[in-house]
Amino acid sequence: MEKQRQDQKYHLEASKISRFVQQCCLFLFIFTIFTTKTQALDLADALSKSILYFESQRSGRLPYNQRVTWRDHSGLTDGLEQGVDLVGGYYDAGDQVKFGLPMAFTVTMLSWSLIEYCQQIADAGELEHTMEAIKWGTDYFIKAHTSPNVLWAEVGDGDTDHYCWQRPEDMTTSRQAYKIDENNPGSDLAGETAAAMAAASIVFKKTNRHYSHLLLHHAQELFEFADKYRGKYDGSVGVVKSYYASVSGYMDELLWAATWLYKATDKKEYFNYVITNAHSFGGTGWAITEFSWDVKYAGLQVIASKFLIEQKHKKHSDILEQYRSKAEFYVCSCLNKNINGSNVERTPAGLLYIREWNNMQYVSTATFLLTIYSDFLRNSNQVLSCHGGTFGHEEILGFAKSQIDYILGSNPMNMSYLVGYGSNYPQRVHHRGASIVSFRGNKGFIGCTQGYDNWYSKLEPNPNVLVGALVGGPDFEDNFVDQRDNYMQTEACTYNTAPLVGVFAKLLELEKQKLDYNHNSLLVASY
């Protein structure tokens, strides 16, 4: 009996030790998962920093809750010479010109991100900041649209601006403003601005109905103006040609604007516009391998594809299928699954490569469209058909994630091309405000040549970190030179970062789901 009690005691103690070891191993395993994931890809950090970036690009009188403290008020007399209030909006990149077309595309992409991934962005605690970023742009568009057929296209002059290297707070360059109107049309600019305001009206529909209605009113007027008085805006505003020329013309923007107005209003007139002009405007004709501030076809085709699953659109399924065919051409080209060499090129390490100057803008937009299309296929239980075979939504999203991995540091340079993320990122971003001592720290005036002599040519890192900016990125061989004068690689733009907001939010949600699944599976397995 005594021996039996001793054996039972031994087995009980052994069981306790075994359970203790099991629990310790479980804790260490879970801890390892969390720390490894955090070190490898901190998507919550990437998301919050990408949204913060837009505060660095603000023009006008900064609000009390401005978080980027090295910036201050600027451009406070914009529009004064023309008798119109054009204070506000965004500087597009590292200079101080306010270009309407890329600004509008930036707002469209921020709004689209929030429309698709509102809950994910809210769960990450970034909903309010994202809405503020959108509203900073749309508030300016409301000011710039001074009458039904007048839209102010640009403030500042790119040529004179580039003679100076100054903080925006010190600007002495021309603030000449340029507009489009009935006699000087700009269907591309008016169309993209209409799309931005229509998309933003969806964003604010639940929380600020009056503002949403106001945006929609402006969007409808701008679309009517764009459609009635047709012409390229760079033909009316000649100073923009060297910077944001409308190479694709305006037909893509007209279809794009009508699509967003249909999504915002559910009015058949806008849907019918997209259908009846599908062929003549190139919506079902152009097979495109880029999506950008200039070329909207791929984005338009992806949205039109999603209309196919709605019963009310069945009678137009033949046209919508043509839109979808072109959307899938774009997706297949990114996956390298088209024939006849019609794929997007890649660097040796696998980064999508469109062109030398600011290539990352095309990577971020492609990643966004791939993510959107992956969701569409998953939700409709369909697959992608390419010449190279059929592919499921997981494969498409997996490739999109590979591009995000590259952006955030999984590349031959071990460089995060999202500034401020990780420990190794570009230190000498081509950006006037970031490269000169903060105005809030040193209010002494810095002139044009002084900025070039004392700051532009310095070898040291920028004194201010342009957090969340996505720079132009590496060349075709994955090489990157972190120099301020290497503007093709080190300049960042608002439309580079904007598409990443939605993608980061989507991938963050999936990462959390995966961690929760692993955590729960391990807990079950331990008992």
What positions carry a catalytic annotation?
430
Radius of gyration of the chain (CA): 25
Residue (of 462, 465, 464, 472) closest to 495 by Cα position: 472
Residue 527 CA to residue 250 CA, distance in Å, equals 64
Distance CA 248, CA 290 (A): 11
Contacts 24+ apart (CB under 8 A), 452-455: 452/165, 455/165
Residue 371 CA to residue 500 CA, distance in Å, equals 10
Question: Do 248 and 282 meet the contact criterion of CB atoms below 8 Å apart?
Answer: no
Residues contacting residue 44 through CB under 8 Å, at least 6 positions apart: 124, 508
How far is it, in rounded angstroms, from Cα 254 to Cα 258?
A: 6
Q: Which amino acid is at 406?
A: Y
Query: Cα–Cα distance between 289 and 341 in angstroms, integer?
Result: 11
Amino acid at 170: D
Q: What stretches of 393-455 show up as alpha helix (H) in DSSP?
A: 393-407, 432-435, 448-451
Separation between Cα atoms, residue 360 and residue 472, nearest integer Å: 5
DSSP-derived secondary structure letter, 180: E
- Please give the distance of CA 64 from its chain centroid, rounded to a whole number: 25
* Terminal CA-CA length for the chain: 31
Which two tokens mark 318? 């033949």
CA distance linking residue 160 with residue 95, whole number of Å: 11
Task: With beta carbons less than 8 A apart as the criterion, state whether 294 and 244 touch.
Answer: yes
β-pair partners for 180:
151
Burial class, 311, CB count within 10 angstroms (exposed 0-12 / middle 13-18 / buried 19+)? exposed
Give one word for 414, left, alpha or beta, with left for phi > 0 and alpha for psi -120 to 50.
Answer: left
Residue by residue, DSSP assigns 342-368 as -S-EE-TT--EE--STTTHHHHHHHHH
Please give the distance of CA 172 from its chain centroid, rounded to a whole number.
31
Three-class SS state of 266 = coil
Whether the Cβ atoms of residue 363 and residue 499 lie closer than 8 Å to each other: no
Please give the single-letter amino acid code of residue 331.
V
